[in-house]
Structure 1
Amino acid sequence: MAGQVQRLSGYKDFSLCPLALSKEKRYAGKAQPVLGIRVPAGADKNRKKLKGGICMALDGIMLRSVTRHLKDLEGGRIGKIQNLSDEEILLHIHTKTGLKRLVINVHSNTNRVYLAAFVPEIQPEPSGFVMFLRKHFSQGIITSVSQAGYDRILVTKVQAMNELGDLRQLTLYLELMGKYANLIAVNEEGVIMDALKRIPVFENSRRLIHPGARYELPSQPEKQDPSGPVSIDESRPLTDQISGFSPLLSGEAERRLHEGTTWEEFWHSLEASDKLYWYDDRHFHIIPLSGMNTEPRVYDLMEGLGQLYRQREEKSRHKEQFGDLIRTVEKEKKKQQKKLPRLQASLEAAKDHDKYREYGDLLFAWQGSLKQGKQAVVQDFETGEDVTIPLNEKFSIRDNANRYYAKYHKMKRSLDALQEQIRICKEDLVYFEQMEEQLKHCSYEDAQEIRQELESGRWLLPKKGARRRKGKSRPHVLEIPYEGAVIFVGRNNLQNSWLTHKMARRSDLWFHVKGYHGSHVILQSDQPTEGQIRMAAMLAAWFSKGRESSSVPVDYTQVSQLKKVPGSKAGFVTMKSYRTIYIDPDPRLVEEILRRRKQ
């Protein structure tokens, strides 16, 4: 970690720190004092460098605030231990105040720790490290949660029993240090039992992270404690002087100090904060960043940490859990995209088939005056104009005429076949585009149903050793109670077909986004209210390609007005009559409803 801090401390985010650059004059490429702060040479270059990367916002100061919230876990008993992904672990901890769900993320770009309000999608197959944690830490009691100084290391001590029933004092070290993020289990003797990311000596000669090695905290340069009296050298960046400060927080501190805020007041604002101010994935902290030009989204700290990188993590989990489905659907979609123009070109050529019949007629009419060659020039009977007809020198005039007749009949017959192939190709293209959209928002159970659909269509081979389901089970549709009604959401073709044609009553209302690929939504209510209709329409818009749009048109009608297209794939229907409502998808409202459903 020491090497990483030294690398980051070589620059500051001057775009967020007006203290570093004067309003009247910028000193680019010169080391000159401006308002009491020395601007390093190449400041403009460094500012651009920081904008292009991921800002190290989850620093020691933020982890200190997180640690205070995690103190409530002390005395809690560790229950289930599960995988969210290969680098995310979920601990169910039973405390005096109820069940807490601790999410530990050690991904290089999104590493953090937080208490989740609801359980995200669980990876069905536990990793080897999760199996190790279950063996040694399950049913253990958390005795303390602390931070290693102001470093980005969370230390969790656990009292657990071994296989013989003897109590052991174990420690989990969570290192949140960018690409070096790791979760390490250490026994009472300070020896590493296992680590989520094992680092052998040939990968890192300074620090061995491997079972059997002695655990040592990363070396840190000596810096000042931010909670005590601080002496600031204005010629050096704060990242080199104060423990736990990132370049982002240092820039904010320098700006506030320049405006007259004392260090004690600034430190108190950090200590008192329990919020997360989120500007974007690279700029967020527990206090407002005054140098930003946009208003932040403000969350409670744990909720904000849960929201950070959520969409990016969902994509990552999807690739891990059903990447083969994504690749198969993408491959089939590209195949249809390439096939369609070729079929359309063949159809246009086939429409010109009458030309070859005319060539045959003219060759037979003038065969007495023609000689074999590469072409024949004859007069058209109707227009009187000369017509040039290509010939094959290997064949006689009569044979060339017969070959043109054969080509005419073949192209005439191919018209119907080509039109049918184009229809099927367009249908398949829509089908795979829709399936591609479904895979973006599906759960593990939804993905397994999509896998089943692809396997039945022979687009994907079954996995070796995979268990086949016996009989037909009910699809895993999303069921949401709302204001006395029940809203059902289908997130793949099997669910859509089952909802619309088997589960729904003829009097139920059916919703589908207009002009996009999306889910079938069923509203079951004896007397549908405007609020129920708007919520069903919002869910239809949310689970569609129009999620990020505004004023999304959603068609709705009674199920009795729907008709299944004969011979079409699952999920395709037509409507006799319908109405349209325009809706603005509200992410917070939808996520709150989904969260309450999972609790």
Structure 2
Amino acid sequence: MALDGILLHKIVSEIKDEFPAKINKIYQVSNSEILFQLKTQSGRKNLIISCHTIYNRLNLTERSYPTPEEPSSFVMLLRKHLEGAIIQSIVQGGLDRYVKLECQTRNDIGDRVTLFLYVELMGKYANLIFVDSNGKIMDALKRIPPFENNRRTIQPGAMFKETEIQDGKLNPFESVTFNHEITLTKQFHGFSPFLSKEVEYRLQQDESFTSIMKEIEDSRLLYIAIIDNETVFHCIPLKHIEQKQKSYPLLEGLDTVYFHKEERDRIKDLSGDIYRFVNKELKHLRQKLPKLQSSLEESLDCEKWHTYGDLLYANLHIRTKGESKIELPSFDDDLLITIPLDPKLDIKGNAKKCFQKYNKAKKGQVYIQEQIDLCTKEIDYFEGIQEQLDISSFDDAKEINQELVDLGYMKKKVSKIRKQKKKETLPKIKKVTLDSGIQISYGKNNLQNEALTFKIANKNDMWFHTKDFHGAHVVVHATDLDEETIRTAAMIAAYYSKGRESSSVPVNYCQVRNLKKIPGAKPGMASLSTYKTIYIDPEEEFITKLEQ
């Protein structure tokens, strides 16, 4: 669900008091997101601008976002002109879905200049456009050449035209009457079809249009509900739907709606090569395995070549040169056996060739079986990596990338930016503390699992892992556990595993002292001697509350 003009009006009203604000740093968080680190009157703030086709928004956020090492050319231009600049104001274009940020800075010779950032949040046309004081476009996050849109070109050097406000529509905050026969979206600026449904439902319940708009104007909350796996929200209670709703402060609610939805795209934007590589490897291995299994079946049928060779040697008096096959009686029951021949060879040469095929197939059985085992393990490994990527944060994905580089699967990217060598540190391990004071740690990728189990955990700590699925290593930093703690740890292990969508997921647990690292195995692999098993139903809501 996208923002409408009225909700953008509420966001602007919420954040406009933070300006003037100084721009300290500018980062491109993903292909569609720009992050401005601001110094405002109330302290340091992060302004996130997303031009995603679905999740486009503008918001002050307290969430932490990843920052890529190598900025894009657009971000470099913004840094050159706007780092250290002052955002004087933020103004919305009526109730339309765009805002203008007025920035004051000094040019190369020290003269004060005014530059503008236009944030357009119009679905697939969402964009961030950088304009100079003369109205000329300096650059944009998404360039639109003339052959794509000859009415509105977004290219460096082109003159910028503000989005035209639709004529004939009224401001709903100023109007006291409306036409019952025309939809609200056609009568008023800023109305989305979803808000129109809500207001029309309320009007049918004898609420007045003026009181509804007054409630919207006074609201500082965001109400969120889920309908058919789709998140819907607005700044007033959603009375026209029956689903349970949650309310949050407006800006926090926007983070709740969008942060994790866009995180998957953000990870793919900044580390998409990992996804492509893992999917490519899995496709190759899954095609390779049936061929190996077919070769093994063929090699297991090698005894026939031994029999063919014996029969040919027993009949050396027969002339076979030029023949492609011969029928000879079996040694056992006199049944005729058809033996394929090489026409270029005599019977002795064909007998010798049969024994060569027999020896090759006999020796190949061991090698092919080794290759099948290796291929099966590789498929299992990359399926685990794929599962980890599906639940990973950006930092987790970077660690997965490092693991693949360390194991030689991927080449290390050489950054153009020179960096001082950092001391090797342990991966970031997720931790939660229960009401009882007991701390639980868990890893979400192989490097984290390896570090947690074999470097961080105490020998007396309790270790949890799903029995039949790839998943997180979970360590409870305590020895004597009550049932609630065991179930909580098992819930974490089950949720952060391939079995999160299943029920009655088996989770093994034991003391860390009962674990052994498997020699030559991939990171995060361990064998356990004695253990107990608990069955658990993963619950996303339980994990969300626990982590909060």
**Partner of residue 268 from structure 1, selected from 202, 208, 214:** 214
Equivalent residue, structure 2, for 1:572: 525
Any stretches of 5+ residues in structure 2 without a counterpart? none
Cα drift, residue 224 of structure 1? 1.3
Pairing of 1:206-217 with structure 2 (within 5 A) = 206-210=151-155, 215-217=160-162
Tell whether 2:284 aligns with 1:325.
no
The number of residues matched between the two structures is 540
SS of the equivalent of 1:473 reads coil
Equivalent residue, structure 2, for 1:519: 472
| Equivalent position amino acid for 1:265 in 2 | S
Equivalent residue, structure 2, for 1:407: 357
Work out the CA distance in 2 between the residues paired with 1:156 and 1:468: 34
Work out the CA distance in 1 between the residues paired with 2:399 and 2:69: 15
Work out the CA distance in 1 between the residues paired with 2:85 and 2:362: 78
Tell whether 2:38 aligns with 1:59.
no
Work out the CA distance in 2 between the residues paired with 1:468 and 1:236: 62
**Partner of residue 377 from structure 1, selected from 300, 308, 327:** 327
| Equivalent position amino acid for 2:523 in 1 | A
| Equivalent position amino acid for 1:236 in 2 | I
Work out the CA distance in 1 between the residues paired with 2:116 and 2:237: 34
Work out the CA distance in 1 between the residues paired with 2:546 and 2:525: 28
Pairing of 1:328-367 with structure 2 (within 5 A) = 328-367=277-316
Work out the CA distance in 2 between the residues paired with 1:281 and 1:243: 25
**Partner of residue 450 from structure 2, selected from 485, 497, 501:** 497
Q: Which moved more, 1:313-322 or 1:550-559?
A: 550-559
**Contact residue 430 and residue 443 of structure 2 kept, 8 A:** no
Tell whether 2:225 aligns with 1:278.
yes
Cα drift, residue 240 of structure 1? 2.1
**Partner of residue 48 from structure 2, selected from 90, 97, 103:** 103
**Contact residue 53 and residue 125 of structure 2 kept, 8 A:** yes
Cα drift, residue 337 of structure 1? 0.7
Pairing of 1:147-296 with structure 2 (within 5 A) = 147-160=92-105, 169-186=114-131, 192-210=137-155, 215-222=160-167, 223-273=169-219, 274-279=221-226, 280-281=229-230, 283-289=232-238, 292=241, 294-296=243-245
Any stretches of 5+ residues in structure 1 without a counterpart? 1-54
SS of the equivalent of 2:384 reads helix
Work out the CA distance in 2 between the residues paired with 1:98 and 1:432: 45
Work out the CA distance in 2 between the residues paired with 1:465 and 1:93: 27
Q: Which moved more, 1:185-194 or 1:563-572?
A: 185-194
Change (3 A) 1:583 1:75: farther
Q: TM-score, normalised by structure 1?
A: 0.79
Tell whether 2:392 aligns with 1:442.
yes
Equivalent residue, structure 1, for 2:460: 507
| Equivalent position amino acid for 2:424 in 1 | S
Work out the CA distance in 2 between the residues paired with 1:294 and 1:128: 45
Pairing of 1:123-162 with structure 2 (within 5 A) = 123-160=68-105
**Which protein has greater RCO, CA pairs closer than 8 Å, 6+ apart?**
1
**Partner of residue 422 from structure 1, selected from 372, 384, 406:** 372
SS of the equivalent of 1:498 reads helix
Work out the CA distance in 1 between the residues paired with 2:113 and 2:398: 41
**Contact residue 377 and residue 387 of structure 1 kept, 8 A:** yes
Work out the CA distance in 2 between the residues paired with 1:356 and 1:549: 49
SS of the equivalent of 1:308 reads helix
**Contact residue 475 and residue 498 of structure 1 kept, 8 A:** yes
Equivalent residue, structure 1, for 2:410: 460
| Equivalent position amino acid for 2:475 in 1 | I
Work out the CA distance in 1 between the residues paired with 2:546 and 2:319: 83
Work out the CA distance in 1 between the residues paired with 2:451 and 2:320: 69
Identity %: 42
Change (3 A) 1:293 1:432: same
**Contact residue 319 and residue 346 of structure 2 kept, 8 A:** no
Q: TM-score, normalised by structure 2?
A: 0.86
Q: Which moved more, 1:510-519 or 1:405-414?
A: 510-519
Work out the CA distance in 2 between the residues paired with 1:282 and 1:74: 31
* Cα RMSD (Å): 3.3
| Equivalent position amino acid for 1:253 in 2 | V
Equivalent residue, structure 2, for 1:44: none
SS of the equivalent of 2:270 reads helix
CA-to-partner distance for each residue in 1:152-198, whole Å, 9 max, x for gaps?
Answer: 12334445555666665554332211122222344566555543334
Change (3 A) 1:88 1:584: farther
Work out the CA distance in 2 between the residues paired with 1:568 and 1:527: 31
Change (3 A) 1:581 1:128: farther
| Equivalent position amino acid for 1:243 in 2 | H
| Equivalent position amino acid for 1:278 in 2 | A
CA-to-partner distance for each residue in 1:93-147, whole Å, 9 max, x for gaps?
Answer: 3445444332211122210122324213333333333334444444455544442
**Contact residue 491 and residue 543 of structure 1 kept, 8 A:** yes
CA-to-partner distance for each residue in 1:430-464, whole Å, 9 max, x for gaps?
Answer: 11112222233334444444334333444323334
**Contact residue 267 and residue 397 of structure 2 kept, 8 A:** no
Cα drift, residue 481 of structure 1? 4.8
Q: Which moved more, 1:208-217 or 1:492-501?
A: 208-217
| Equivalent position amino acid for 1:267 in 2 | M
**Contact residue 460 and residue 478 of structure 2 kept, 8 A:** no
CA-to-partner distance for each residue in 1:507-535, whole Å, 9 max, x for gaps?
Answer: 22222233222232333336555555444
Q: Which moved more, 1:421-430 or 1:404-413?
A: 404-413
Change (3 A) 1:376 1:200: closer
